[in-house]
Each structure stands twice: as C-alpha cells, then as structure tokens.
Amino acid sequence: MAAEGVYWKPYQLESHMRVFPEGQFCAEYKGQIIGSCSSLIIKMEPEYKEHTWGEACGTSLFNNHNPNGDTLYGADVSTHPDFRRLGVATKLYNARRDLAIKLNLRRIIAGGRLINYCNYADKITPEEYVRKVKRNEIKEPVLCFQLRNGFRFIKILPNYMKDPRSLNYATFIEWKNPSFIE
C-alpha cells in the first residue's frame, strides 16, 4: 500500500497501542524500523463471514477490538523494500502466532491483497487467479508467503479495501491455533 501512498498516521498507531499494545509488533535493525504488523482481537459471526477491512477493524483506530473475542485479526503487515526476503515478515507472523497461543485465541484471520491480480483481471476471475497461484502457475508474493506460513485460503473477499492492484479483492486466510483449549 505504500506504493499508493497509504501509511499509518501517528494518531492511528497511537490508537492501536492504546487499544491493544500486545498486538502491535515492529522489527528493528540498527535502530531503524524495517517492518511492522498491527492486529486486534475480534469475534466474527458467522466465522467465515464476508467482510471488508473496515468492518473487521472498525476503522483505522481499531474500534472493533474485543478482548473477549476468539480471533486475532491481522490488520496489516509490512516490510521495508530494502529488507524484503530476509525473513522479517515471517518473524512478524511468528510473533502473531505466539500471541494467539499465549492468549488462547482460536485462530488468526486476515484479508490478503492480491497485488498482481490487476495483470490478469481481464482474463480470469479472482478465484481462478488463486487456483493458479496455488498451482504455482502465477507468482503472487502475498498469497504465496501466507500459504508458506501455514495459512489456508478460505474464499475471496470482494470490495475488501480500495486497492487498484488487487481491484479491491482480497483472500480470506486463516491459521488455526493447534494449542487452542476451549
């Protein structure tokens, strides 16, 4: 999203820290922030409900944070372009998994941007695009990364967020906590 000039503003990050400090992570190298991710706890009913980013997060201030929820929602993850493919995002995902286990949350879900779908939209549907990504016929850095990190694809989320590269589509992804105790 940074390529489109979309960044968290200081007041939004301050709200994330006020609402749920345990769910916000930064990766630092030599005093420079090189990656981050923001998360909140929600209760989604039904559990695989079609939703937008705003519906899940309750605005950029995380107004939907519910400490009594059962799901960690991955609002975003980003790595500075100079530090990509070095495992930074994987470490951030691991921190989220560790938090979900520590808090005994049932799962982690998120909407993942289909950043290369704009190159294929005139030929195939988003569902077919995902099938081709899963068969390694199309390189999709976001979804491939999420699948390698133990998430599974649930379904396409239309109108997830305004995003010209994905044409507003996202993947609904899920990681189930193997240590969850009801």
pLDDT at 9 over 50: yes
Q: Rounded distance, CA 41 to CA 25, Å?
A: 14
The whole-angstrom distance between residue 159's C-alpha and the CA centroid of its chain comes to 15
pLDDT at 2 over 60: no
Per-residue pLDDT band for 1 (boundaries 50, 70, 90) equals very low
What interhelical angle do 141-148 and 126-134 show, nearest 10?
50
pLDDT, tens digit, 9 for 90 and up, residues 71-114? 999 999 999 889 988 999 999 999 999 999 999 999 999 999 99
Per-residue pLDDT band for 6 (boundaries 50, 70, 90) equals low
Q: Please give the structure tokens belonging to residue 30.
A: 């030599």
Residues 6+ apart with CB under 8 A from 175: 97, 100, 107, 108, 109, 149, 150, 151, 152
pLDDT given at position 91: 97
Domain ranges of the chain: 2-176
**The whole model's pTM is what?**
0.94
**CATH tag, 2-176:** 3.40.630.30
